[in-house]
Amino acid sequence: MAFRPSVFIFDEPTANLDPVGTLEFFKTVESLKKTDEHTIIIIEHKLDELIHLVDRVIVMGKEGVKLLEGTPYEVFGENSDLLIKNGIWIPQTALLAHKLVQNNIKLNNIPLSIDEAYNSFKKFKPLGNGLKRENCTELTHHSSPVLDIRDLSFAYDDKEVLKNLSLKVHKGDFLAIIGANGAGKTTLAKNIVNIIHPPSGKVFVEGKDVLKIPTEELCHKVGYVFQNPEHQFIKNTVEEQLTFGLQSRGFPSEKIVNWLDSTLEKFKIKQYAKSSPYMLSHGQKRLLSVATMLTLGQDILILDEPTFGQDLKSSNELLTFLKTLNELGKTIIIITHDMNIVAKHAQNVLVMAEGEAIFNGSTHKLFKNNSILKKARLTIPPLLQLSVNLSQYYEGWNGMATVEEYVNALKPLKQN
Ligand SMILES: Nc1ncnc2c1ncn2[C@@H]1O[C@H](COP(=O)(O)OP(=O)(O)OP(=O)(O)O)[C@@H](O)[C@H]1O
Ligand SMILES: [Mg+2]
């Protein structure tokens, strides 16, 4: 921005930014827009906090073809079906309205913002309370943890990054680690997988000090998807990248070929099998890095920002896949800045701020704790904000954060 150009092109400017950082960036865009001196083009997947600034939207379909063009309302309001079918993100409130219409709940228009949604929804009285998060009881564990971190401190040279952090993760947990940029989340993950070495007696995987677990054994116990997918690429082609793990374990080649085929298909990168991993788009690199990690069938999976740069379809597929693995008993730890994912998928959350664990508990408690949210530069998900606003009108709205929770509450609906 220092050059003050007349045209700005921002290509996914908020990927990897913490939630408050994302809001601050969009505020900056708003002030640029107000000067009326700049043309601003933003390529984005995250639309909720941005859409009110946008005059015109172009949706790119497959292979560089323009799918739609128009005002935000023309694109997201009138064509939500087409966009969802093509796996493209639309604002959360529009996604919710789309689901309600599918469930025969009539709306006059598709709301694109929390304010518009507030106006459309306040005529309803939610009657169901199926999935509401207040009702979720916190899990208590009796077994010993698969991951046990005790008073871990870690410094890069003399810069202290982790401070006396303790954490227990049990088999079958789905834990989200969240917090501001620079809070130490990636550093913590790297300590768990012993890429950077914790002091002895601080990190235990399945009861053993990680420093005493041979690297190969640890790789088979804990899978780690790097925040930067390129850090994971060590082979010249996508195909080699995907298969080296199985080859090194001596799998029969027929089995490897079958697995490769289905994986390329599942992650939609079949046409790039012979390409260099570096030739893929950002989102495709992310999918390849996840697929590479999944080859060894580890019991504990740690994914550092697994969904950044992903369209709606890939993001949903990836999370559904992780959920399936979780239901099969795998322990999943994701590091993410996406509060929608936290609300929808995490059983527990660890919030980090300046290297310390400042909260460990359920999403329900977290989203009510304003001082923790503020300290860690977090926001509540847009649909939870909507439910807070609506609850001033009718208490029954309170505590809903996901599309599913709204649909459950509104299904037995009586229109007022
Ligand atoms: N290799 C390194 N050498 C020195 N300092 C580092 C190194 N890696 C990270 N840091 C510092 O450690 C702190 C924590 O970094 P880390 O990458 O763990 O944060 P994070 O919570 O993952 O942030 P983000 O959300 O931006 O990914 C930061 O202040 C960072 O500058
Ligand atoms: Mg990080």
The CA 184 to ligand 1 mean position distance, Å, reads 6
Closest residue by Cα to atom 7, ligand 1, is 156
In a domain, 392, yes or no: no
User: Which of 69, 84, 116 lies at the terminal end of a domain, its last residue?
Assistant: 116
C-beta neighbour count of 2 within 10 angstroms: 4
Task: Give CA–CA dist 168/73, Å, rounded.
Answer: 46
Give the closest residue (by CA) to ligand 1 atom 26. 181
What ligand is nearest to the CA atom of residue 377? 1
Identify whether 2 is part of a domain. no
Q: How far apart are CA 155 and CA 394, in angstroms?
A: 50
Q: Is residue 404 part of a domain?
A: no
Residue 188 belongs to a domain: yes
Neighbours of 6 (CB within 10 A): 7
| CA 181 to ligand 2 centroid distance, Å | 7
The last residue of one of the domains, among 85, 116, 147, is 116
**In total, how many domains does the chain have?**
2
Distance 306 CA to ligand 1 centre (A): 17
Of ligand 1's listed atoms, the one at least distance from the Cα of 352 is 21
Same domain, 14 and 47: yes
Number of Cβ within 10 Å of residue 232's Cβ equals 18
**Same domain as 289, residue 170:** yes
For residue 64, give its domain range: 7-116
Asked if 154 and 90 sit in the same domain, the reply is no
Report which ligand 1 atom has the smallest distance to the Cα of 156: 4
Cα–ligand 1 centroid distance for 187 (angstroms): 6
> Are residues 42 and 187 both part of a single domain?
no
Q: How far apart are CA 400 and CA 409, in angstroms?
A: 9
**Ligand nearest the Cα atom of residue 353:** 1
Ligand 1 pocket, CB under 6 A: 156, 159, 161, 179, 181-187, 227
Residue identifier of the C-alpha nearest atom 2 of ligand 1: 156
Residue 164 is assigned to a structural domain of this protein: yes
- With contact defined as beta carbons under 8 Å apart, do 242 and 263 qualify? yes
Based on the fold, state whether residues 82 and 211 are members of the same structural domain: no
Task: Tell which one of 187, 190, 225, 342 to mutate to probe ligand 1, the residue whose CB is within 8 A of the most ligand atoms.
Answer: 187
| Minimal-distance CA residue to ligand 1 atom 29 | 182
**Beta carbons of 210 and 252 less than 8 angstroms apart:** no
Q: Give the number of the atom of ligand 1 that is nearest the alpha carbon of residue 183.
A: 21
Could you tell me if 299 and 342 lie in one domain?
yes
Residue 222 lies in a domain: yes
Task: Please answer whether residues 86 and 67 qualify as being in contact, where contact means their C-beta atoms are separated by less than 8 angstroms.
Answer: yes
Question: Atom of ligand 1 at shortest distance to CA of 227?
Answer: 27
Q: What is the rounded CA–CA span in Å between residue 236 and residue 272?
A: 12
- Cut 0.95: pTM above it: no
Residue 103 shares a structural domain with residue 154:
no
Distance 188 CA to ligand 1 centre (A): 10
Residue 111 is encoded by which pair of tokens? 């709301």
Considering every ligand atom shown, identify the ligand nearest to the alpha carbon of residue 196 and give its number: 1
Distance from C-alpha of 250 to C-alpha of 393, rounded to nearest angstrom: 63
In a shared domain, residues 174 and 286: yes
Indicate the top mutation candidate among 161, 196, 228, 354 to test ligand 1's pocket, ranked by most ligand atoms within 8 A of CB.
Answer: 161
Same domain, 26 and 109: yes
What is the per-residue pLDDT for 138? 57
Query: Residue 64, exposed/middle/buried by CB under 10 A (0-12, 13-18, 19+)?
Result: exposed
Environment of ion ligand 2 (residues, CB < 5 A): 185-186, 227
Distance 3 CA to ligand 1 centre (A): 28
Distance 196 CA to ligand 2 centre (A): 14
Q: Would residue 403 count as lying in a domain?
A: no
**CATH number, domain containing residue 148:** 3.40.50.300
Distance (angstroms) between ligand 2 centre and the Cα of 382 equals: 23
Whether residues 285 and 185 share a domain: the answer is: yes
Provide the greatest CA pair distance for the chain.
Answer: 65
For residue 121, being part of any structural domain is answered with no
| DSSP string over 368-390 | T-HHHHHHTT----HHHHHHHHH
pLDDT tens string, the chain, 416 residues long: the values are 888 899 999 999 998 899 999 999 999 999 999 999 999 999 998 899 999 999 999 999 878 899 999 999 999 999 999 999 998 999 999 999 999 888 888 788 889 999 999 988 887 777 655 445 555 555 566 678 999 999 999 999 989 999 999 999 999 999 999 999 999 999 999 999 999 999 999 999 999 999 999 998 999 999 999 999 999 899 999 999 999 888 888 889 998 999 999 999 988 889 999 999 999 988 889 889 988 888 888 999 999 999 888 888 888 888 988 999 999 999 999 999 999 999 999 999 999 999 999 999 999 899 999 999 999 999 999 999 999 999 888 877 888 899 988 888 877 654 44
Domain boundary among 313, 342, 361: 361
E-assigned strands of 64-158? 66-70, 124-125, 147-156
Q: Which pLDDT score is estimated for 140? A: 63
- pLDDT at position 125 is 75
Do 198 and 289 belong together in one domain?
yes
- Per the CB < 8 A criterion, the answer to whether 385 and 49 are in contact is no
- Co-location of 73 and 199 in the same domain: no
Q: How far is the CA of 165 from the centre of ligand 1 (A)?
A: 16
Of 77, 80, 8, 13, which Cα lies nearest the Cα of 45?
13
Alpha-carbon distance of 113 to 122, in angstroms, equals: 14
